[in-house]
A and B are shown apart, each in its own frame.
Chain A
Amino acid sequence: KAGVTQTPRYLIKTRGQQVTLSCSPISGHRSVSWYQQTPGQGLQFLFEYFSETQRNKGNFPGRFSGRQFSNSRSEMNVSTLELGDSALYLCASSSLPSGDTEAFFGQGTRLTVV
């Protein structure tokens, strides 16, 4: 069974640009969550999608958005990039909404904003 796949693995963008990250969950998983990991803040929850609907949202500005497609693949978009958006973005999938179900993480996309 293939794991969670995130693309691209590495990305360098300039301030003010926008970026789209992709996450393909484990086959059969309908829940996809996104997290931002930075050295100072650890893993911070961005949002969760289940069956194409956003179920939960963390405390991030509106520049961070996402969506989920009918095949459960998810994309995360960050507009008007800031230097502070440089981080590792992790996607996790689970068969059910992630609250009390083991989540499987991808390797992440390392975004660097210059």
Chain B
Amino acid sequence: DQQVKQNSPSLSVQEGRISILNCDYTNSMFDYFLWYKKYPAEGPTFLISISSIKDKNEDGRFTVFLNKSAKHLSLHIVPSQPGDSAVYFCAASDLDDKIIFGKGTRLHILP
């Protein structure tokens, strides 16, 4: 039973355009959501997070939107840069602080 789903295994976006990575979840008890970025041969690095009491959080080129009624969150990257090519993991934390990760979406930024 996959509680955090990233339905797109990969995504290709032109440099300079907007990248939108999507994530759906099933557990309404999740109260905190995080995005991590992972380059090959490196551990994931934290990107941005959002509490369930908010619907938007912005940090530079990265914005995360949360739609609780739809149990959906998305990560927007504007403008997309070549260094953004990586695997992006959506993660959610439940009331016991257990973090559940999605399977990841590989983002390719095209020149």
A92→B89 CA distance, assembly (Å): 14
Chain A residues within 8 Å of B41, by CB: 107
Q: Which residues of B contact A92 (CB under 8 A)?
A: 43-44
Query: CB within 8 A of A100: which of B89, B93, B101?
Result: B93
Docked-complex contact B97 and A99, CB < 8 angstroms: yes
**Which among A56, A102, A108 is the interface contact of B98 at CB below 8 angstroms?**
A56
The reply to whether A55 and B43 contact each other, CB–CB distance below 8 Å, is: no
Say whether A81 faces chain B, with CB atoms less than 8 Å apart: no
A44 touches B99 (CB 8 A): no
Q: How large is the interface on A (under 10, 10 to 19, 20 to 34, 35 or more residues)?
A: 20 to 34
Whether the pair A42, B99 counts as a contact (CB closer than 8 A) is no
A100 and B43 in contact, given A42-B103, A43-B89, A48-B97 (Cβ under 8 angstroms): no
Q: A100-B31, A104-B46 are in contact. List 6 more A-B contacts (CB 8 A).
A: A43-B44, A55-B96, A56-B96, A104-B45, A105-B43, A107-B41
User: Which B residues are closer than 8 A to A by beta carbons?
Assistant: 6, 31-32, 34, 36, 41-46, 49, 51, 89, 91, 93-94, 96-104
Contacts from A to B (Cβ < 8 Å): 4, 33, 35, 40-45, 48, 55-56, 58, 90, 92, 97-100, 102-108
